């Protein structure tokens, strides 16, 4: 049932509180789907960079083949932000006269430290990977950063699209005002006017390109037949509470949650008071989760393992537990 839900999607996001096994689960899901014959791209947006550790491979920003049909990339938020502002700077320097380049430099330095700067850069990279991935792969699996970062990231497309539309509207009003002013001036076509027109056209093209990308990404992540979110958690107080909050935030962004993965379940050992007590406490939090998400929600549980799954064979074994575990 859980495998069927995944097989119907083209884009998956796995997220949750840090340390609950998001990367392991994402890697197991991606490997399972690749073994089923799908062409899969596994993307890590988590700054912890655990993906390469799990596979025992160096993974970077360019796709690396992990298994036939399975490629992977790791996005570095700091590097992505640097690249983003470098690109923005190149465009600004080209649009502005040389005597204003100092102002552009100061603007970029301030913008790079502004709240949301890294999120904006990560959003564009994530959106591009998702949109391009639909063309080049059967499935794109995102191993995301901890809950709060992910919720903000997936809420950004709508906000940034509105901001971009506002900028385009401002450009349109400015263009109309400029045309009216030139007509009053007898249509004077000085060389400076031609340069401004060229600069304004480049600004408009950049804004329209961003608007198109964000609109396409928004369509993808809000289509429940195309994409979905899997929340990964542990059967403990904070992960359960964060899961319920994340579920609410995703619903507000019209993003469908297709299932819940409860990892690291303590065995119910009758001969161990410690394990039995802990298992009973976890059962209470599983009940709390079920109460919060309602009937019919898909929940899959995996046992606490003696060792972290490292390497393809161990990840495949974990995938077997994932798709064959209790619900």
- How does pLDDT run across 74-98, given as a tens digit for each residue? 988 777 666 666 666 555 555 555 6
Task: Please say if the pLDDT value at position 199 is more than 60.
Answer: no
DSSP 144: P
Task: Please say if the pLDDT value at position 115 is more than 50.
Answer: no
- Measured CA to CA, the distance from residue 262 to residue 21 in angstroms comes to 9
Please give the pLDDT value at position 260.
96
Closest among 229, 230, 233 to 286, alpha carbons compared:
233
pLDDT, mean over the chain: 79
Task: Please say if the pLDDT value at position 2 is more than 60.
Answer: yes
Q: Mean pLDDT highest for which of 37-51, 183-197, 304-318?
A: 304-318
Closest among 141, 167, 154, 162 to 217, alpha carbons compared:
154
209 versus 105: the higher-pLDDT residue is 209
- Measured CA to CA, the distance from residue 87 to residue 107 in angstroms comes to 14
- Measured CA to CA, the distance from residue 131 to residue 215 in angstroms comes to 10
Task: Please say if the pLDDT value at position 1 is more than 70.
Answer: yes
Indicate the fold that domain 1-327 takes in CATH: Rossmann fold (3.40.50)
126 versus 285: the higher-pLDDT residue is 285
Structure tokens that stand for 50 in this block: 């655990």
Please give the pLDDT value at position 71.
97
Question: For the chain, how big is the Rg over CA atoms in Å?
Answer: 24
Confidence of residue 208 (pLDDT cuts 50, 70, 90): confident
140 versus 163: the higher-pLDDT residue is 140
- Measured CA to CA, the distance from residue 293 to residue 277 in angstroms comes to 25
Contact between residue 153 and residue 119 where contact means Cβ atoms under 8 Å apart: yes
**Collapsing DSSP states into helix, strand and coil, what is residue 35?**
helix
- 323 CB burial (10 A radius; 0-12, 13-18, 19+): middle
Please give the pLDDT value at position 265.
95
317 versus 168: the higher-pLDDT residue is 317
Strand pairing report for 40-44 and 139-143: parallel
């Amino acid at each position: 049932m859980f495998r069927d839900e995944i097989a119907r999607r083209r884009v998956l996001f796995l997220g949750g509180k840090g340390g609950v096994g998001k990367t392991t689960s994402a890697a197991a899901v991606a490997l399972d789907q690749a073994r089923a014959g799908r062409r899969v791209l596994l993307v890590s947006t988590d700054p912890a960079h655990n993906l390469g550790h799990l596979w025992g491979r160096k993974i970077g920003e360019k796709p690396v083949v992990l298994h036939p049909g399975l490629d992977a990339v790791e996005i570095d938020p700091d590097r992505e932000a640097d690249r983003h502002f470098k690109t923005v700077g190149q465009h600004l320097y080209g649009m502005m006269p040389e005597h204003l380049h100092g102002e552009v430099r100061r603007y970029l330095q301030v913008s790079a430290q502004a709240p949301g700067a890294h999120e904006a850069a990560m959003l564009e990279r994530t959106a591009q990977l998702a949109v391009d991935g639909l063309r080049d792969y059967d499935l794109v699996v995102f191993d995301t950063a901890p809950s709060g970062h992910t919720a903000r990231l997936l809420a950004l497309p709508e906000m940034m699209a509105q901001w971009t539309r506002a900028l385009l509207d401002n450009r349109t009003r400015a263009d109309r005002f400029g045309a009216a002013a030139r007509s009053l001036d007898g249509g004077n076509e000085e060389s400076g006017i031609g340069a401004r027109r060229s600069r304004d056209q480049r600004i408009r093209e950049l804004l329209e390109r961003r608007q198109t990308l964000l609109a396409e990404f928004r369509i993808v992540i809000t289509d429940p037949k195309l994409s979905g979110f899997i929340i990964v958690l542990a059967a403990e107080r904070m992960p359960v509470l964060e899961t319920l909050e994340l579920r609410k935030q995703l619903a507000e962004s019209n993003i469908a949650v297709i299932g819940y993965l409860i990892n690291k379940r303590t065995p119910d050992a009758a001969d161990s008071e410690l394990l039995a007590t802990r298992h009973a406490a976890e059962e209470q939090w599983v009940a709390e989760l079920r109460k919060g998400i309602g009937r019919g929600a898909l929940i899959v549980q995996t046992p606490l393992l003696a060792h972290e799954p490292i390497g393809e064979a161990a990840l495949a074994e974990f995938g077997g537990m994932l798709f064959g575990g209790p619900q």
